[in-house]
């Protein structure tokens, strides 16, 4: 820097031109020129080489009693600054580098301001300047609020009994820079919408639009021209009459005002927790951070607007905000649900039937604790009134006619009537099967009743009595048919083959008991 100033002076450049080209204060440039003249250097004589020139200038006392410039004071720390800014493992931001240098060198903090430090980094090009340019867009009062999340540490969750990550939901107004902070455990859809509701209540009004990035809680499918919003968040926007404006995919600078606030809020939360170690709940942390936002941060001059955010908000922006809706917003739970082959969807461990035409489709379902609604392209196609402790909601009209007949009471009553006509044992068998599970055992009962078309009803009843007597025998149409045919076979009791003693030991006693019972029933 010193050598370049003197080289341009030696070439005849005026001080104003050198200041414009190198972006140094004219006083600083004049100081170095005066030092060079004091050393006997002139424009007519050659300048010493750079390695000799700089030590000569730095060793010269201030001409005219002026203090050493901040830029020259920083120069000895150049390599150290470069290491801090570019170190791969422990890379620091410029603000942190400045703070470290001030802590390690008391004179550095007295002689160098942060503005001078940033200017030195920019001129020396220590930090890679690529992709750092931006275009700041200012918005009128009440026009826009930008929102984002930032992780701010760990906190004990009494519900789960363990420490969990906590996140700060941040909403920054585009005009005044006044902000809302909501510390939460979760970033899910319900928590996200609830934070938005609390944000507008905190501001006491609604902005024309909300700018957010493409987090899943708000945007299901990012798209440059047609992003798909989460239904719960879309419902929130309609209720508050505000436009939801997602950033371009991969362009977080579209909400640069709140992006810059994330590290600020993170540092503020850490500082609050150090100063208030007893603040161990979300409610207490939120109270303290919102007080800090209004009474500390809000009363400082903002670096860009040069106004106090809270004062600017109160006097200029709040009167422009749209009023809050008269009706409070009800936060409902939205979930996608697939209609399975059995006509049912599942929502919070409950099942609900839908018409056959919807089988295989995925619908959005909305529940608020009292009513559940199924949507097809935001049109309600069916809704249910929720009843406490009821798990299964079946509408027989949703099923084909043959299934409807199987599900309603007409078929069951018809089967019971036929079973009673066959005899009390068949009736007892059918009643026991239907009592176990009326739907699963329905086809089994139909098979038993169908035997009446082929066999004598009295014979079926005697066979049913035999099966009921022996608990090991299955109460199935196949088993009942086998017993009937055995009883009808005269050889079962007239022409029994003799059994040798050697064969007797391989025969199950239960089988002999069944055979004996069949003989008795047949006789």
- Domain(s) of CATH 3.30.420.10: residues in the chain: 144-320
Residue 305 CA to residue 316 CA, distance in Å, equals 13
CA 65 to chain centre: 62
Return the pLDDT at 120.
Answer: 83
DSSP 322: B
Residue 119 CA to residue 70 CA, distance in Å, equals 10
Return the pLDDT at 81.
Answer: 86
CB atoms within 10 A of CB 129: 10
Residues of the chain with pLDDT under 50: 65-67, 128-131, 224, 491-492, 494-497, 499, 503-504, 506-513, 521-523
Residue 483 CA to residue 481 CA, distance in Å, equals 5
- Domain(s) of CATH 2.40.50: residues in the chain: 333-399
| CATH class assigned to 333-399 | mainly beta
pTM above threshold 0.85: no
- Which tens digit of pLDDT belongs to each residue from 365-377? 999 888 999 998 7
Residue 180 CA to residue 162 CA, distance in Å, equals 27
| Contacts with 307 (C-beta within 8 Å, 6 or more apart), sequence order | 176, 301
| Spatial contact of 177 and 242, defined as CB atoms under 8 Å apart | no
Burial level of 230, CB count in 10 A (0-12/13-18/19+)?
buried
- Which tens digit of pLDDT belongs to each residue from 84-100? 887 766 778 888 888 88
Q: Which one of 3.20.20.70, 3.30.420.10, 1.10.1240.10, 1.10.3470.10 gives the CATH number of domain 144-320?
A: 3.30.420.10
Return the pLDDT at 34.
Answer: 86
HEC profile for 198-227? Answer: HHHHHHCCECCEEEECCCCCCEEECCCCCC
Residue 288 CA to residue 282 CA, distance in Å, equals 10
- Which tens digit of pLDDT belongs to each residue from 41-63? 888 888 888 777 777 877 775 55
Nearest in space to 322 (alpha carbons), one of 212, 240, 243, 234:
240
């Amino acid at each position: 820097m010193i050598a370049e100033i003197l080289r341009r002076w030696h070439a005849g450049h005026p001080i104003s031109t050198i200041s414009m080209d190198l972006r140094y204060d004219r006083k600083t440039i004049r100081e170095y020129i005066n030092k060079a003249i004091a050393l006997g250097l002139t424009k007519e004589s050659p300048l010493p080489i750079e390695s000799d020139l700089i030590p000569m200038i730095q060793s010269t006392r201030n001409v005219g009693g002026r203090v050493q410039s901040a830029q020259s004071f920083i120069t000895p720390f150049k390599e150290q600054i470069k290491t801090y800014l570019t170190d791969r493992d422990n890379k620091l931001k410029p603000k942190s580098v400045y703070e470290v240098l001030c802590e390690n060198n008391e004179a550095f903090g007295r002689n160098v301001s942060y503005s001078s430090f940033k200017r030195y980094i920019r001129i020396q090009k220590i930090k890679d300047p690529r992709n750092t340019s931006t275009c700041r867009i200012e918005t009128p009062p009440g026009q826009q609020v930008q929102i984002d999340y930032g992780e701010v540490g760990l906190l004990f969750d009494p519900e789960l009994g363990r420490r969990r990550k906590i996140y700060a939901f941040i909403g920054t107004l585009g005009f005044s820079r006044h902000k809302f902070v909501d510390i939460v455990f979760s970033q899910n859809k319900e928590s996200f919408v609830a934070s938005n509701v609390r944000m507008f209540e905190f501001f006491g009004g609604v902005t024309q639009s909300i700018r957010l990035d493409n987090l899943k809680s708000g945007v299901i499918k990012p798209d440059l021209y047609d992003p798909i919003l989460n239904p719960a968040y879309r419902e929130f926007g309609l209720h508050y009459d505000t436009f939801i404006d997602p950033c371009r995919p991969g362009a977080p600078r579209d909400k640069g005002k709140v992006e810059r606030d994330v590290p600020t809020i993170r540092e503020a939360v850490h500082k609050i927790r150090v100063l208030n170690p007893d603040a161990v709940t979300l409610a207490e942390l939120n109270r303290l951070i919102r007080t800090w936002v209004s009474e500390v941060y809000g009363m400082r001059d903002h670096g860009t607007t040069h106004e106090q955010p809270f004062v600017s908000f109160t006097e200029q922006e709040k009167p422009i905000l749209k009023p809050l809706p008269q009706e409070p917003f009800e936060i409902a739970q939205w979930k996608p649900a697939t209609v399975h082959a059995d006509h049912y969807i599942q929502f919070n461990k409950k099942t609900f039937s839908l018409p056959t035409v919807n089988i295989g489709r995925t619908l959005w379902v909305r529940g608020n604790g009292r009513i559940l609604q199924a949507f097809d392209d935001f049109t309600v196609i069916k809704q249910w009134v929720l009843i406490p402790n009821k798990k299964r909601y079946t509408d027989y009209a949703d099923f084909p006619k043959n299934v409807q007949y199987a599900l309603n009471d007409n078929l069951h009553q018809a089967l019971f009537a036929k079973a009673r006509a066959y005899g009390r044992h068949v009736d007892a068998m059918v009643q026991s099967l239907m009592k176990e599970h009326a739907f699963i055992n329905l086809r089994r009962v139909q098979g038993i009743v169908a035997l009446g078309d082929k066999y004598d009803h009295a014979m079926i009843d005697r066979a049913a009595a035999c099966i009921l007597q022996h608990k090991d025998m299955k109460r199935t149409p196949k088993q009942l048919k086998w017993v009937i045919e055995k009883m009808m076979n005269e050889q079962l009791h007239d022409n029994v083959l003799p059994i040798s003693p050697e064969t007797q030991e391989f025969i199950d006693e239960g089988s002999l008991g069944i055979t004996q019972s069949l003989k008795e029933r047949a006789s």
